[in-house]
Amino acid sequence: MPIEVKRREGESLNAFLYRFNKKVQHSGLVKERRKRQFFTRTKNRSKRRAATLYRMAKQEGIARARKQGRS
């Protein structure tokens, strides 16, 4: 879906660019483009689970160290 913005009569270039940029941001094209920039495979369930467990253990270790004053 292309974005079409026509310059109004007597409109300055800065105002026109401002309007265009707002339309592009509002449409979500930039966000979608950045999302699709790099293809990443979805991890399987066991790898996601292992990563979550690792992250949780790490957070618990940090919390324990803070509690003991070793942060």
For residue 1, the model assigns a pLDDT of 65
pTM of the model: 0.47
Q: What pLDDT, on the 0 to 100 scale, is given for residue 2?
A: 80
pLDDT of residue 43: 85
27: number of Cβ within 10 Å? 13
Q: Which pLDDT score, from 0 to 100, does residue 45 have? A: 94
Closest C-alpha to 5, from 14, 29, 21: 21
List, run by run, the mean pLDDT of 10-residue segments along the chain (71 residues): 88 95 91 86 91 97 92 65
Can you give the residue ranges of every domain in the chain?
13-67
Give the separation between CA 48 and CA 10, rounded to whole angstroms.
Answer: 56
Q: What is the pLDDT of residue 41?
A: 83
